[in-house]
């Protein structure tokens, strides 16, 4: 909110600030933990014993097995960022009023008489639809990249 008072906010600036100040730290810890967990497994030791290079082990063995938790978390991070942008717009710290946004529409619906209920429900319904769609698409991508579903050992 302090940075927005100094600079003219735009969608890309707000999204960039949300990612820089809060989005990457937890993901970095998750990636690091997944790599350490996969590094300790037997198939990595077997690949190393067979003479595979570290680069090959990292990208052919460890990366596909550690992507599933990362891909699972990404849609929820996107949902959180969209909700934060809508919340900033609703509070007046987001995009400027000529730019249409869901938070601005909800704010207009609440600032006027409550007889303009469609200004409140339509952005909320579209948020619900969009956030659910992102979650379901993320679940489909996670299932497509899950190495446990497509193994030859079943």
In a domain, 1, yes or no: no
Ramachandran quadrant class, 92 (left: phi over 0; alpha: psi -120 to 50; beta: rest): left
In a domain, 125, yes or no: yes
Q: What is the pLDDT of residue 84?
A: 81
Tokens coding 49:
């014993």
In a domain, 152, yes or no: no
Task: For residue 9, give the nearest of 131, 111, 91, 127 by alpha carbon.
Answer: 91
Give φ, ψ of 9 to 5 degrees.
-75, 145
Q: What is the pLDDT of residue 69?
A: 78
Q: What is the pLDDT of residue 129?
A: 93
Q: How many residues are listed for the chain in this entry?
A: 154
Question: pTM above the 0.75 mark?
Answer: no
Q: Whole domain around residue 138: which residue ranges?
A: 7-145
In a domain, 2, yes or no: no
Q: What is the pLDDT of residue 27?
A: 78
Place of tokens 């956030």: 131
Sites in the chain below the pLDDT cut of 70: 1-11, 14-15, 18-19, 22-23, 112-113, 146-154
Alpha helices (H) along 11-154: 11-18, 24-39, 42-49, 54-56, 63-91, 102-111, 118-145
In a domain, 139, yes or no: yes
In a domain, 120, yes or no: yes
Domain count, the chain: 1
């Amino acid at each position: 909110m302090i940075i927005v008072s100094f600079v003219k906010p735009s969608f890309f600036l707000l999204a960039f600030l949300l990612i820089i100040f809060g989005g990457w730290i937890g993901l970095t810890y998750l990636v690091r933990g997944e790599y350490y967990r996969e590094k300790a497994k037997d198939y990595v030791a077997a690949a190393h014993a067979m003479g595979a290079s570290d680069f090959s082990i990292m990208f052919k063995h460890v990366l596909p097995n550690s992507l599933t938790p990362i891909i699972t978390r990404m849609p929820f991070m996107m949902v959180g960022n969209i909700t934060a942008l809508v919340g900033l717009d609703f509070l007046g710290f987001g995009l400027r009023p000529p730019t249409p946004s869901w938070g601005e529409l909800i704010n207009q619906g609440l600032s006027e008489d409550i007889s303009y209920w469609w200004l409140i429900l339509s952005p909320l319904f579209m948020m619900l639809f969009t956030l659910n769609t992102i979650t379901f698409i993320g679940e489909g991508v996670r299932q497509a990249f899950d190495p446990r579903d497509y193994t030859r050992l079943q």
